[in-house]
Chains A and B, each alone.
Chain A
Amino acid sequence: MPDLSFLLLQTLNGLASASSLFIIAAGLTIVFGVTRIVNFAHGSFYMLGAYFAVTLIPRLFDIDRSFPIFFAGVLLAALGVGLIGVLMELVLLRRIYRVPELFQLLATFGVVLAVEDLVLKIWGPLDILGPRAPGLRHAVEILGHRFPAYELFMIAMGPLVLGLLWLLMHKTRFGVLVRAATQDREMVGALGVNQALLFTGTLFLGAFLAGLGGALQTPKLAANPHMDISIIAEAFVVTVVGGMGSVPGAFLAALIIGQLQAFGILIFPKITLVLVFLLMALVLVLRPWGLLGRPEAGHGRVVLPEGILGLKPFGPAERILTGGLALILVLLPWVGDSYLTKVVIEVLCFALAAFSLNFLIGNGGLVSFGHAAYFGLGAYGAGLLVTRLGVPMEPALLATPVIAGLGAALFGFFVVRLSGIYLAMLTLAFAQITYAVAFQWVEVTGGDNGVVGVWPSRWAASREVYYYIVLLVSAAAILVLRRSIYAPFGYTLRGARDSVVRADAIGIDVRTHRWVAFTVAGAAAGLAGGLFAFAKGSIDPTLISIPMSIDFLVMILVGGIQTVLGPLIGAAFFHSIKDFFMPLTFYWRLLLGLAIIAIVLVFPRGIVGGFESVKARVSRAGARQGGERAGA
């Protein structure tokens, strides 16, 4: 039997991490409750809190090296982040409350990219450890074990923040309005409350809490430019498990997850990350709105869905364009240099993955935040078969859609039971599980470093030959998927996206069709991942990471989710821009982030969608000259 005092110590560790998780997640959940925006930039706020603290506190120590000064520094840092939250609300969010959810998300991710680059520019790439808190640098003896005093302080901070938030939410008019708006925004407006101010205040509070979480971490965790992404996934999990919009729910979820991490590491040291996401998957399947959340009140209004609208056959212009593009692709190895060929190989892989994602999102209305999981499963499947089992390229490549398809079938079984933002969060959770396995199961996957030596068979080793393999396979897969969009299966998915009620009423088993679609899309992404692995010659966890999933989303949103072929253009555009700017400037993330934000603000239908609306406007103008349309 394990030592009781040791168990107590682990419990304390769990409580300390629960505190910091709660402080961060509380901000996220409050912002979501009021604005209904899932704010990816919350992780950036957290990171900024840490950097502000490591910059500010040493200066303040010039005045006096004491705990009150340390704490004042933490609060000042959080305050600064709160103001940045206000800035973000005023400049960006205020303009996008009415754009589709997916675009809001993308815009906040644009902020993530921009902030990441600014942080690199200002503070550099190296970790910066903050000063330790005066008066709390010692360890306390607890049942014969030494336990850091700062951790005890952190344990107290969680309930303290919960208490202060409770006071704020119940004893101030602002808090009461926040709670009212979380339940029914429209009614709050009809009672005369200016929502714009309320939203600004909410963003301040949310960003302040994220900044506080970041600043409080600095004595134990160095500020680094990657802490935004790593925290955002955890904060999402806490928010979703607790129920989005519920502060007490976030507290409860943080307590559970803190303990799960503390004890999980003793029992399953390899899969602590997996445990957390499994918990989320379990909670979502049993209680689709989280522990203390409640279902969103639907208004039952019929709105045009986001995604593919009409399917039109190609006109002459599109035919010529496609034909020309095909010709260029076929001739590419002769006309372009080796580097261009390499870039186009990557574009083709991403195009297939993006196309399969839009098959789900644009056609099926299933917004997946974790498509990289299946891309990664394919890549790892191929890579491990070749390097660990010595399987040749051909069968390994054939196995990739099977491996990824099986993964997608397993995860999809749960995913298709949910809808909307919770569905998206579950796909993210499954992607993180996959990522965690790849990251933590070092013996097999090579962990962080991945595996090298994933090369094609000898006959396919030259870049040109491999190029044609990729071109052939990805084009064939895209054509098959595209065909299905025009076939009854694709129509059925689109119909279920337009109206589940109607689909059900004409005898369609919506869930099963979605499950099949999820599996097929996963298989196609897996094939893309396999092709990509052989192109790069290596695999590593970034292929499964959140940024990879987001890249796929950006590709289809930039291309236009309401078009069938938009994702291909988006993939080409996005990857070549990234490839072009990355070596040229240190600021490619900043530029990319700003570009994404600009696209959401001025071009919310993507490149191809924008092209089509221009076309429609021109033809409407032509029709108007022919006389006014009958019947308004």
Chain B
Amino acid sequence: MSLLSVEQLGKSFGGVVAARGVTFAVDAGKLLAVIGPNGAGKSTIFNMVGGQLAPDTGRVVLAGEDITATPPRHRWRLGVGRTFQIAQTFVSMTVAENVQMALISLNRRTRAWWPAAGALYRDEAVALLERVGMADNADRPCSELAYGDVKRVELAIALAGTPKLLLMDEPTAGMAPKERAQLMELTAGIARERTIGVLFTEHDMDAVFGHADDIIVLVRGEIIAAGRPAEVRNNARVRQVYLGGTEIGARPSSQAAEAAQP
């Protein structure tokens, strides 16, 4: 059984189809990349798996449990960790406190009134930061970090929930090229070591082809190709789509040039 299976997911916004018949699965310990041109429906799919959007049709099943209608905060308790395209951290807190917050929530102690939050689960938080290479920055305010480091913190926050599945929306967006490769390696390593399934969208083809076990290609809300990286890379339709779909012939351009003459 797959860790995550997405079955016949569909969604439209005011008549515009953003997803139709989308079906795929993510296995534990594997990385699945969702790619496609802008407006292909990647974010829509992603938000339906994350729970931010309710699908019109279809199901989302996590480890055998139907979570289609489960709100995001409950999905987290079922083992869905998430990072965002624009990193979402608690900017007024330190790096460690960000991870501690996730642990406090995991242990259902967010309503505690008396203990000092800064001392709760500190060691566990630092251990997680160690894993993402941020332990040295544990006491720095999150607002001071370079963006690549913020993304690492986000990863540590997601890991704090001991996830089965990680959802990463454009994990390398906004990062310097070198940081990108490092983050993807880190993610892949953690996924394998903790047998976490990873579903990610990404524009950086190095990240996609370097680290994804499988790739699905979305165009106008539908999957047009799926498979191993090599298969997708050699898929003629995919290449065509990435270069702009149909060719624009010389026909209209000469006409237009003539028409433009006064």
Contacts and interface: CB of A to CB of B under 8 A. Distances in A.
A487 B116 CA distance: 5
Interface string A512-535: 010010000000000000000000
Given A488-B104, A488-B109, A499 B118 contact: no
A4 interface: no
Contacts of B94: 310
Nearest to B142: A498
Given A492-B105, A507-B76, A508-B105, A502 B89 contact: yes
Nearest to A490: B117
A419 interface: no
A498 B91 contact: yes
A305 B92 contact: yes
A138 interface: no
Contacts of B102: 506
A616 to B, nearest CB: 12
B89 A492 contact: no
A171 interface: no
A502 B111 contact: no
A483 B114 contact: yes
Interface string A308-319: 111100000000
A158 B31 CA distance: 64
Given A506-B161, A508-B73, A489 B110 contact: yes
B90 interface: yes
A494 interface: yes
A488 B93 contact: no
Most B Cβ at <10 Å: residue of A301, A483, A491: A491
Given A499-B88, A501-B84, A513-B110, A506 B117 contact: no
Contacts, number: 117
A488 B111 CA distance: 6
B106 to A, nearest CB: 7
B72 A504 contact: yes
Contacts of B143: 304, 309
Nearest to B114: A487
A491 B87 contact: no
Interface in B57-96: 71-74, 76-77, 81-82, 84, 86-94
A308 to B, nearest CB: 7
A314 to B, nearest CB: 13
Nearest to B143: A304
B13 interface: no
Interface in A98-133: none
A516 B113 CA distance: 12
Interface residues of B, number: 43
B110 A502 contact: no
A301 B71 CA distance: 23
B14 interface: no
Contacts of B86: 300-302
Nearest to B120: A488
A550 B102 CA distance: 36
Contacts of B146: 631
Interface residues of A, number: 36
A488 B92 contact: no
A302 B97 CA distance: 18
A505 interface: yes
Interface in B130-173: 141, 143, 146, 157-158, 160-161
Contacts of A310: 92-94, 141
Contacts of B161: 506-507
A513 B115 CA distance: 17
Contacts of A480: 113
A499 B157 CA distance: 13
Contact of A302 (B76, B87, B111, B120): B87
Contacts of A311: 118
Nearest to B111: A489
B225 to A, nearest CB: 30
A497 B114 CA distance: 20
B157 to A, nearest CB: 6
B191 interface: no
A490 B112 CA distance: 9
Contacts of A507: 73-74, 76-77, 105-106, 161
B101 interface: yes
A501 B94 CA distance: 18
A307 B90 CA distance: 13
Contacts of A501: 84, 88
A490 B115 CA distance: 11
A359 to B, nearest CB: 12
A289 to B, nearest CB: 18
Contact of A508 (B89, B110, B113, B118): B110
B77 to A, nearest CB: 5
Contacts of B89: 498-499, 502
A302 B92 contact: no
Given A301-B86, A304-B143, A311-B118, A498 B111 contact: no
A77 B91 CA distance: 50
A389 to B, nearest CB: 32
B92 A506 contact: no
A77 to B, nearest CB: 48
A311 B50 CA distance: 32
B115 A498 contact: no
A172 interface: no
A487 B92 contact: no
Contact of B93 (A483, A484, A494): A494
Contacts of B158: 505
A484 B109 CA distance: 13
Contacts of B71: 504
A188 B86 CA distance: 26
A134 interface: no
A447 interface: no
Nearest to B121: A488
Contact of B92 (A304, A483, A486): A304
A491 B157 contact: no
Given A304-B92, A304-B143, A491 B111 contact: no
A533 to B, nearest CB: 27
B88 A502 contact: yes
Contacts of B92: 304-305, 307-310, 494, 497-498
Given A487-B115, A494-B93, A495-B90, A505 B101 contact: no
B112 A488 contact: yes
Contacts of A483: 113-114
Contacts of B116: 486-487
Contact of A484 (B88, B113, B160): B113
Contacts of A505: 50, 72-73, 76, 81-82, 84, 88, 158
Contact of B101 (A300, A309, A486, A506): A506
Given A309-B141, A506-B157, A506-B161, A491 B88 contact: no
A59 B97 CA distance: 69
A504 B109 CA distance: 15
A371 B91 CA distance: 27
Nearest to A512: B111
Most A Cβ at <10 Å: residue of B72, B76, B105, B110: B110
A486 B93 contact: no
Most B Cβ at <10 Å: residue of A301, A498, A502: A502
Most A Cβ at <10 Å: residue of B50, B116, B160: B116
A513 B157 contact: no
13 contacts: A488-B112, A489-B110, A489-B112, A489-B113, A491-B97, A491-B101, A491-B117, A495-B101, A498-B89, A499-B88, A505-B76, A507-B76, A508-B105
Given A494-B90, A498-B92, A505-B158, 7 more contacts: A302-B88, A483-B113, A504-B72, A505-B73, A505-B81, A507-B73, A631-B146
Interface of B: 50, 71-74, 76-77, 81-82, 84, 86-94, 97, 101-102, 104-106, 109-118, 120, 141, 143, 146, 157-158, 160-161
Interface of A: 300-302, 304-305, 307-311, 480, 483-484, 486-492, 494-495, 497-499, 501-502, 504-509, 513, 516, 631
